[in-house]
Amino acid sequence: MTAPMSRFVGKTVAITGAARGIGAATALRFLHEGARVAVIDRDDFDDVFADHAVDQLLTMRGDCTHAATLSAFHARAVDRFGPVDVLFNNVGQSGRERAAQFHESLEDVWRFVLEVSLLTTMRMSRLVAPTMRGRGGRIINMSSDAALVGDAGLADYAAAKMGIIGFTRALARELGPMA
């Protein structure tokens, strides 16, 4: 990477689903640009953040489908770094090996997919919204092209990701005028 930039110095960023992929890359970029970054994932972070100062980074292993875990993550981030300036709701997944054609799909898989993708996004947003209403900030919600085009065998995932789009639009109308 090039020399560190300072666009986010003094800013606190919270990211869900950050042990690998888009979440990890986003966290690394925010760290590179000076942010204090709190990340949560149910998977190990391995050495993803090995080169970053612990005073700039908070990692927490936890299952984002549990409201109490998200609340604890938010509280730890705020205690350590102050109010969240940027929330990146990245966590989400399909039913993976349990995915099936809709007529053969199982409701417990639907519930899991909605929980991890949509409800986690809503819960984390609700945790940061009260403070952001007063001081500003940004909420970034990750969706998928599956929301717009659908994928055979992943109707639950498409529904959850489209739910994120609708939720994001509604939340922008509520919080946007205060920015």
Residues labelled catalytic: 157
Residues 81, 89: Cα–Cα separation, whole Å: 18
Assess contact for 75 and 12: CB atoms under 8 A.
no
Is residue 84 within 8 Å of 30, Cβ to Cβ?
A: no
Distance CA(87)–CA(99), nearest Å, equals: 29
Q: What is the DSSP letter of 123?
A: H
Q: Which two tokens stand for residue 37?
A: 């970054």
